[in-house]
Amino acid sequence: MIVTSRPVNLLILLICFIPFLFLGIFDLDEGAFAVTSLQMVKDGQYLIPYIGEELRLEKPILSYWIQALFLTIFGFSEYSLRAPSLIAALIWGYSFATFVKENNTRVTRSDILINFFTLPGIFLISFAATADAFLNLFITLALINLYKFEEQKKNKYLNLAAAWIALGFLTKGFAIVAICGLVFLFYCFFNRKLNSFLSAILNIKAWTIFIIIVSPWLMYLYMQTSSEAVMYMLFGQSFGRFSYAFENHSGSIFYYLVVLPFITLPFFPDLIKGMLASRPRANSFELFLMMWFFVVLIFFSFSSTKLPHYLVYGLSPIAYFVEKNFRKNETLVFSLSALLFHLFIWGIVLAIPFYLSYMLEVTQTFELSKEAMENLAASMSYKLFVGLFVALLIINFLRRSNGMQVKKMSALAMVVMLTFWLLPFAQTATQQDIKNLGLFAKTQEKKVSMYKVNKPSYAFYAQQKSYRGLKENHLILSRIDKESSFNFDYEVIMRSGNYFIFKIKSD
């Protein structure tokens, strides 16, 4: 059989983690988290998040603290921003794999970890220099302890869940309260254990732990800003996203049903089969995982703001359901239908650069670098890797290799493609010019600003606070399509691709 073993798969995954620690950051979210954390360090002010002179209360404080700590220890680099998320993701994955192993001895922790990190949605969020890896970790730890509380009736698990929910609240507000509360409610309801839910939400000690953790910072924020600022962070950002589509991120009620196959490729068929093979009525563990996944899917389907990574909050159970299908069919060979499905996926991967090049020709955009697009389309290594892997799939089919191992190998190859081709391309195409200009501005040791663009990573690479608007004596970032609207005297300092730096001419 031309397939790989568990140790080899884990080693390949480990190798794939490393390049992401040094990958350039993406705007908008990563850039905003980066400059907010950087400003904390530069100002020596760690209690209220700012970008320039503006409050940044889209998220609470915890993820900024963690990034600021790493920036202080390791310096102002991509590594300092990405390492905290990766550490959180590794703990997240290990915690979930251990939870599964404790409740199903037929599976191994290694198999769950391989499934977990080869799900594209989880793999990509593991390196995002934002709050999402931390939040997913806290959701997972909280739900594990809530499950143990219901099973063992020990208050120590409820107290731990309260602590994790409090930390998740300091990471991203009410999202963790809604997710964990609804999952536990529906699990108890369908398991006919509503008394467990009531005893949890009425437990004074658990609420005390939650309040002790979250209230000091909230009180300080209230005293230093205003009640309106606190209400905006707590309710405007949490419930506001549910009621209104933020930044035009809207979609139909079926949005996540369309997204799900893409963020679970190439395991999507095995996910469906694994769920159908489950017995939630007879197995409380499988019922709990079902509730975890479906509550997140349905809850965010009714949210007005829709972003793909919201579904990741419910993706952890997918690693189990995929493995359940594999274990049910672990002796089956790699079938013709499986071969055709995987060939279809890899055909799409091969077509990506050509499709993007075509779209750039018919749709004018200044957000992407045409040169980077052409380089990917012309890349022989990209085509060679896809071609060799397609040949490997065909050989494994002809040799009647184990289907489970071939599918895992295909998922791992997809991660390799993301690591060494697709994400570096995306970073170069969208961010390299901004990084170049930011590094240049760093050498000038002047304040920086942006005009008619919002690319906060520019300020991070310049290692300056991020300002917006026309500022005298600032090196101002803009884009070539905006230049025709300038009605003031200015001097271009440097150009890179579609972006340039200018300064306002003095009278």
For residue range 442-459, list pLDDT tens digits in order.
999 899 999 999 999 999
206-222 in b/e form (b: 16+ CB < 10 A) is beebbeebbeebbeebe
Query: What pLDDT digit, counting tens, does each position of 286-325 carry?
Result: 999 999 999 999 999 988 888 888 999 999 999 999 999 9
Cis link prior to 28 (omega < 30° from 0)?
A: yes
Cα separation, 507 vs 502, whole angstroms: 16
Cα separation, 273 vs 269, whole angstroms: 6
pLDDT given at position 381: 92
Give the torsion through C-alpha atoms of 244, 26, 368, 17, to 10 deg: -120
Name, in order, each residue with C-beta under 8 angstroms of 246's C-beta and a sequence gap of 6 or more: 240, 305
Region 208-232 average pLDDT:
93
- Residue 378, pLDDT > 70, answer yes
Confidence of residue 112 (pLDDT cuts 50, 70, 90): very high
Closest C-alpha to 317, from 132, 164, 100, 88: 100
CB neighbourhood size of 391 (10 A):
10
- Residue 475, pLDDT > 80, answer yes
Confidence of residue 3 (pLDDT cuts 50, 70, 90): low
Query: What pLDDT digit, counting tens, does each position of 23-63 carry?
Result: 999 998 999 999 999 999 999 999 999 999 899 988 999 99
Query: What pLDDT digit, counting tens, does each position of 392-421 carry?
Result: 999 999 999 988 999 999 999 999 999 999
pLDDT given at position 92: 98
Cα separation, 14 vs 217, whole angstroms: 37
Region 175-201 average pLDDT:
95
DSSP 505: P
Cα separation, 403 vs 326, whole angstroms: 8
261-264, Cβ contacts within 8 angstroms, sequence gap of 24 or more: 262/120, 262/308, 263/119, 263/120, 263/121, 263/308, 263/311, 263/312, 263/315, 264/119, 264/120, 264/121, 264/315, 264/318
pLDDT given at position 1: 46
Name the residue with tokens 């290594």: 381
Query: What pLDDT digit, counting tens, does each position of 432-444 carry?
Result: 999 999 999 999 9
Cα separation, 141 vs 99, whole angstroms: 10
